[in-house]
Amino acid sequence: MIITRKTLDRRTLLRGAGSAIALPLLDAMTPALNAAKAAKPIKRLGYVYVPMGSTIAEWTPACPHGKLTELSPTLQSLEAMRDQVTVVTNMELRNSYPGTHATSNAGFLSAATAKWTESTDYYLGTTADQVAAKTLGKDTRLPSLELAMDMMSMVGQCDNGYACVYQNNLSWSSPTSPLPAEAHPRVAFERLFGEGGSAADRRREAKQDASLLDAVRERIAELQSKLGPSDRTRVSMYLDSVREVERRIQKAEAEAANTALPDLDRPVGVPAAYADHAKLMFDLQLLALQGDVTRVISFQLARETSNRTYPEVGVTEAHHPLTHHGNNPVKMLRVAKINAFHVSLFAYLLKRLKETPDGGGSLLDSTLYLYGSGMGNPDKHDHTNLPVLVAGGRGGRHVRFDKPVPMANLHLTMLERAGVNIDKFADSNGRIVDLGEPLAL
């Protein structure tokens, strides 16, 4: 390694006109006296929300409490990562009753009671991701990152007298402060890597088909001249990934310009196919974690009451009406197809995390992602036996409770695994001792 005495700061940015590119964890960031040791990975937390519960019989593994010996039909796409997946059965959001779509979304990360109101006097609770952000986000450019797939523009009353704010926002920094999520890949990309000038200025520059990386070309060359071979390769691969994501955003924007009838539920300029849009948003999460732009992410993979169809998996009926299945086995299997499709997109992220080096392991080794829904059986709108799993670190477990256990227990345990130590979260009454933990611990 060329850098021996003076190490590279972990928060080094490559700055250019309107650009600020963070870097992945490099050997050169290891203190010189500890150069023989791998740089210690950073602990990270991610949260992915899916709406309207699941066909729970297709979701739940058949194996008993203990080792996760086989995955259920819905979770089959996670097979390659099974030893880093923990399925948690019989989680409950008691504070989300009476059962609604609004309280399912609002309660997933808060485990709190949403004030019943149609007005602006809404009140919920600080969500787990924002509790984490207060500790994990102290040293990052963004304390947290909130993403979504759909436009969250509904206002007023959305569900049984509950204000739309509960359905629109997954993350809350305080009981009265919902955090809007970004569904447009271009805007999210600019948040991660853009700097300087107004948003309009950056968007105008982007339309010139120039890469954001062009602004830091000289800084990249200067940095590479000071790094050892393995670090040069790591930087090149990371920047190639940044450029590829940027290219896909530009391609989607160009294609959208020729679309006569845009989907009003989605931002203009996103990929036409739902899966392509989702993978692009997951790749942005990967880049954000790899570059240590943030260590806390929440992502709404689809919104409650969504009428999206999924022709990619042969489901042409709208999602929401299908979930009111009345125990019709045909409808229930179609819901299970949607569930499995959503899981397969999450599996794409996990695969990318597992393939991405971080210190002496991978990003998946030092990250915990919670995936699931705030609703159990969508036909009943209940909040018991939620479809929930944790991915990352050590796993390969099926934690199966005989009686409903507060979802807040899972949040409290994940926070502790990431180094955020608090005595209680919402209605928690204990911890989940069998839950996996980041390998970095």
Smallest Cα–Cα separation from 375: which of 46, 50, 47, 48? 50
What does the pLDDT read at residue 398?
97
In whole numbers, what is the pLDDT of the chain averaged over residues? 88
Based on its alpha-carbon atoms, the radius of gyration of the chain, rounded to whole angstroms, reads: 22
* H and E: helices and strands count for the chain: 12, 16
- State the average pLDDT over residues 231-253: 90
What does the pLDDT read at residue 3?
38
What does the pLDDT read at residue 36?
41
Residue 150 main-chain phi, psi, to 5 deg: -120, 155
> For residue 260, what pLDDT band results from cuts at 50, 70 and 90?
low
- Out of 183-192, 264-273, 287-296, 402-411, pick the least confident: 264-273
Q: Which one-letter amino acid corresponds to residue 51?
A: P
d(CA 331, CA 336): 9
Residue 22 has pLDDT above 50, yes or no: yes
> For residue 25, what pLDDT band results from cuts at 50, 70 and 90?
confident
Residue 200 has pLDDT above 60, yes or no: no
Residue 114 CB contacts under 8 Å (≥ 6 apart), including other chains: 96, 102, 103, 106, 107, 122, 123, 124, 162, 166
What dihedral angle (degrees, nearest 10) is formed by the CA atoms of 224, 225, 228, 229?
70
d(CA 51, CA 105): 7
- State the average pLDDT over residues 387-395: 96
Q: Which CATH number fits domain 43-183+274-417: 3.40.720, 1.10.3470, 2.60.40, 3.30.420?
A: 3.40.720
What does the pLDDT read at residue 197?
46
What does the pLDDT read at residue 19?
81
pTM, to two decimals: 0.91
Per-residue pLDDT tens digits for 132-163 = 999 999 989 999 999 999 976 655 557 888 99
Residue 300 CB contacts under 8 Å (≥ 6 apart), including other chains: 49, 105, 147, 148, 149, 150, 170, 181
Token readout for 418 is 């990431």
Residue 202 has pLDDT above 90, yes or no: no
- Taking CA atoms, 96 is separated from 104, 105, 205, 380, in Å, by 6, 9, 45, 13
- State the average pLDDT over residues 338-353: 98
> For residue 349, what pLDDT band results from cuts at 50, 70 and 90?
very high
Instruction: State what percent of residues in the chain have pLDDT above 90.
Output: 69
Please answer whether residues 242 and 46 qualify as being in contact, where contact means their C-beta atoms are separated by less than 8 angstroms. Answer: no
Smallest Cα–Cα separation from 82: which of 397, 342, 414, 346? 397
- Return the H-helix or E-strand segment holding 219: helix 217-224
| Domain residue limits, the chain | 1-40+203-269, 43-183+274-417
> For residue 262, what pLDDT band results from cuts at 50, 70 and 90?
low
d(CA 103, CA 22): 37
Smallest Cα–Cα separation from 59: which of 262, 419, 335, 292? 335
**171 exposure class (CB count in 10 Å sphere: 0-12, 13-18, 19+):** buried
d(CA 359, CA 201): 37
Per-residue pLDDT tens digits for 78-106 = 999 999 999 999 999 999 999 899 999 99
Residue 270 CB contacts under 8 Å (≥ 6 apart), including other chains: 183, 184, 185, 252, 256, 277, 280
**401 exposure class (CB count in 10 Å sphere: 0-12, 13-18, 19+):** middle
